Amino acid sequence: MGISRVMVQPRWIQAAFDLLALVCSFAVFLLVRTVAISEPLAPFTVSDAILVGVVVALMWMAVFWLAGLYRNYYVRSPFEEAFVVMRTVFVWSVLFYLLIYIDSPEHYQNSPRYIFIVYWLLVSASVTSGRLAARILQQRLFQSGRMSITTVVVGSGYALKHLQSAIAHSKRYRYKVLDVVEYPLFSQGKQQSAALTVQLRSTLENHRPEELHISMEKPDHDELLAVVAEGSNAGCNVMIVPDMYAIVSGQTRTQFRYGSELIHVNPELMKPWEEAAKRITDITISLLILLIGLPVWMLLAIGVRLSSRGPVFFMQKRVGRHGHIFTMLKFRSMVVDENRGETWTAHNDPRVTRFGWLLRKTHLDEVPQFLNVLRGEMSLVGPRPEQPAYVERFSKEIPYYKRRLKVKPGITGWWQVKAKSNDESREEIESRLRYDFYYIENLSFMLDIEILVRTVFVLVSGHGRA
């Protein structure tokens, strides 16, 4: 019976080989350590050693998951994977040994110094060998037809025919082509292009392939971006041929498949450990700010209430990650306007109260959004959330606009610490996309830290938009 989800099954194969390799390396390490310090394994029995070995192996597997080592195994070459494994094992081995030393320095002093090197080499060699064996097994499963990658192919002209032939004759991987969407060689106008894009969207929704492969002989800029956007929005791994690299430069990762280089558009954005660190940072900083500043926030709430009639909080529907609609909170800085609707705030807007002007000037109106962060609707750092009507509108005008929804919206971001304008006009919001895309394409925990540090300087100096 075929394996339909190649993105999941290889992870189980990798995990099984990792578990076996880690248990074996622990057993060998116990023997080496026993010989090195001339002590028997007591009080360890064989069953105790196996139990401890499994627990240690599971700890290492959790570390590998945090390091992103259970993602697409074919994203990395065997050599690159070996390097990542050795680096990860080295760093975490140092941390483990430091914890052992802090807990029991006598135990550390009684062990030979080279034991650390021996353990690092044993784990690195066993895991690397196990993963190489897992690759061989996975390739055998591909070749036998018991494992396949589901894909939809999009293209035009000779480039499409060449791609179909390459996929059909691939020896290393087996692909199950669910559908082919062929675009005309020469653009036939926006109406036909839009119709094909709708067809592609329907195909992706119905088949839910793991990958979308694109090869257009004479690609139209807008047409290609629309295709890439559809694949990205559907959660596919988008793979394109190198000829179109210039159009999507800065958003890619290169892989070697069926005899040629392919470009991986929209690779996974953050490693699991970075996502965990980002969330922990969000919760910690939000709690500290809300609790430590609670007396100040209560005074601000009273000030808002006294400045004009109406509620303390301004609440508005915004679009979050993956299109989730949530209610964003702010301290109200304007008079209540029943006819406001979904509009941007103009510069020197007469509806802004005097106290509201102070809140906006100091950015204290944003403080309630830390509650949105605690609820998981927003992050400290990310693109600013927009109203549903504008997201729908810009998604039609700018095919790649929805890529902003791949990450949580934030209180501060790259645009806030780099841009000089305070204008919230349509033109300014469109230009903000350049900063948002830069942030998404370079997303990392360290970039978040940099933006938070820059935000502090911006708030102190009074420049920028943070």
Could you tell me the CA-to-CA distances from 190 to 195, 201, 435 in Å, in that order? 8, 16, 28
| Predicted structure pTM score | 0.63
Q: One-letter amino acid identity for 246?
A: A
Mean pLDDT, range 105-116, rounded to an integer: 65
* pLDDT of res. 7: 40
Q: Distance from CA of residue 56 to its chain's centroid?
A: 28
- pLDDT, one tens digit per residue, over 74-95 is 556 778 788 888 888 888 888 8
- The band of 105, judged by pLDDT with boundaries at 50, 70 and 90, is low
- The band of 290, judged by pLDDT with boundaries at 50, 70 and 90, is very high
- pLDDT, one tens digit per residue, over 142-201 is 777 778 888 999 988 888 888 888 888 877 778 889 999 888 766 555 667 778 888 888
The pair of structure tokens assigned to 8 is 């999941």
Contact 448, 278 (CB under 8 A): yes
Is the confidence at residue 56, as pLDDT, over 80? Answer: yes
* pLDDT of res. 3: 40
Contact 411, 378 (CB under 8 A): yes
Per CATH, which fold does 149-265 belong to?
Rossmann fold (3.40.50)
Is the confidence at residue 376, as pLDDT, over 90? Answer: yes
- For the chain, what's the residue count? 466
User: Residues near 134 by Cβ (< 8 Å), separated by ≥ 6?
Assistant: 10, 13, 14, 16, 17, 73
The pair of structure tokens assigned to 267 is 């690779």
Domain ranges of the chain: 9-144, 149-265, 272-461
* pLDDT of res. 247: 43
Classify strands 313-319 and 410-412 as parallel, antiparallel or unpaired: unpaired
Q: One-letter amino acid identity for 56?
A: V
Top-confidence residue, 259 or 375:
375
Task: Lowest mean pLDDT of 41-55, 141-155, 193-207, 285-299, name the range.
Answer: 41-55
